[in-house]
Amino acid sequence: MRQIDIDIQRMAGEARLNGFHYGVLGWCALIIVFDGYDLAVAGIALPLIMKEMQIEASQAGFLVSTALFGMMFGNILLGTISERIGRRLAIAVCVGLFSVFTAAAGLCSDPLLFGAARFLAGIGIGGVMPNVIAQMTEYAPRRVRSTMVTLMFSGYSVGGMLAAVLGKNLIVSYGWQSVFLAAGLPVLLIPLILKWMPESVPFLIRRGRTDDLRRLAQRIDPNYRAEAGDRFIVAGTDGAVGSADAAAAAPIGQLFHQGRALSTLMFWLSCFMCLFMVYALSSWLTKLMASAGYSLGSALTFVLVLNLGGMIGAIGGGWLADRFHIKYVLIGMYVLAAVSITLLGHPVPTAGLYLLVALAGASTIGTQIVGCAYAGQFYPVNIRATGIGWTLGMGRGGAILAPILIGFLVSMGLPLEQNFMAIAVPALVAALAVLMIDHGRSASALTGPGEATHNAGMNEVPQHPANSNT
């Protein structure tokens, strides 16, 4: 029997956009919208939570950080074990966690119980991120991969804006608890996710689910015609065909193999600094603007503008990354963050202030999304979710530190410009870290677009040069 080796990863990279790709994009984006809502909702309601629970700014910083501790565990744990249990199930578990426990937080009046619920919700919020990034990276065509990943992840900003809009309408009428209770609705999507979300290719290969692989190949490339001798493989970045066991193992040590050690550490450092800025602004922008004399409604509008800027920055950054070198696009975005956040602390006209807030969102939230897209392209498929998960997990330290540190600065009564300068400085550190990433060791650089292809009754189905027909 004539045996044909088929690399669905390569097939997806060369495919034309069709309904399958838009379906993956739609599901991942919708999940991220809910994820972003759950994350932003605590910052939206923070002033009223502080008042009702009678806690100070420094205590509120620790309260906000409980979800971030959970996200650290979720990033690392669910990003890593998804390689073993399947990405679809991991995503469904995450949706269940962040929906149920964010709603539960709205029923809590005690700070300790509130913090415990937010910690458990954080595990789901954090766990979903590396999995949807890996999912979109795996199936997006190479020529628009950065654009599709950042477009998908811009749902994070949509979720933040949704929280701000609902916050302005629900909190006044029904109290801060209402915006938390609304977060429980996504749990209804879990059966649909398990039915319609495609599974990871290495997981299907490992389980020997050949029929599912054939159907998946046909969805990616409608011209593909299955043959009895088809053998599905995962091609490695070093020229070898990856086995199912290799795809399953995804050891953390592989993040440091093949010259990736320094780059892995720099991904962690840049993510740490970027998440510091994102969570400092998400958690304290409302309070800082309120202390500067703006009403609660106006302060919430700044959060809306921040997230709108983040969405524009993510999509624009992804578009630039598909046309220019993603590494240098990231560096430019970090420099913009340093400038715009610093200027937020200085007196400017209201229109100029809104513009600066939008630029700050574009160059922090948007930059974080582009950075995740870069990590997804840097690591090979068998350790992709692990690499993204550990990058976000290690970076989560910045997210945890930010609400606490800025909370202490706010409680000290420092001038507004010093608070914003403390948020801006990490952007310069992140820019230097990205500069030190060795792009030559990335999966995209090692495999590249110019590999051999063959026609085996299909439309340009890619095959690794080391494969053989027997």
**Is this structure's pTM higher than 0.85?**
no
pLDDT at position 240, please?
Answer: 37
Q: How far apart are CA 56 and CA 355, in angstroms?
A: 31
Answer whether residue 27 shows pLDDT above 60.
Answer: yes
Residue 111: band (very low, low, confident or very high) from pLDDT cuts 50, 70, 90: confident
Q: ∠ CA(356), CA(359), CA(360), 5° rounding?
A: 85
Q: How far apart are CA 49 and CA 46, in angstroms?
A: 5
Q: How far apart are CA 319 and CA 423, in angstroms?
A: 27
Q: How far apart are CA 284 and CA 47, in angstroms?
A: 10
Answer whether residue 303 shows pLDDT above 70.
Answer: yes
| pLDDT tens per residue across span 52-84 | 787 776 677 677 778 878 888 888 888 777 777
Residue 28 identity? C
Q: How does DSSP classify residue 324?
A: S
Answer whether residue 101 shows pLDDT above 90.
Answer: yes
Name which residue leads in pLDDT, 42 or 437. Answer: 437
Q: Kindly list the domain boundaries of the chain, sorted by start residue.
A: 4-200+249-443
Question: DSSP E strands: which ranges in 307-395?
Answer: none
Residue 404 identity? I
Within 8 A by CB and 6+ apart from 257, the residues are none
- If you average pLDDT over every residue of the chain, what do you get? 79
Output the CA torsion 376→41→22→364 (10° steps). -40
The separation between the first and the last C-alpha atoms of the chain, rounded to the nearest angstrom, is 7
Q: How many CB atoms lie within 10 A of CB 51?
A: 10
Mean pLDDT of all residues in 282-302: 68
Superfamily of domain 4-200+249-443: MFS general substrate transporter like domains (1.20.1250.20)
For residues 372 and 154, is the Cβ–Cβ distance under 8 A? no
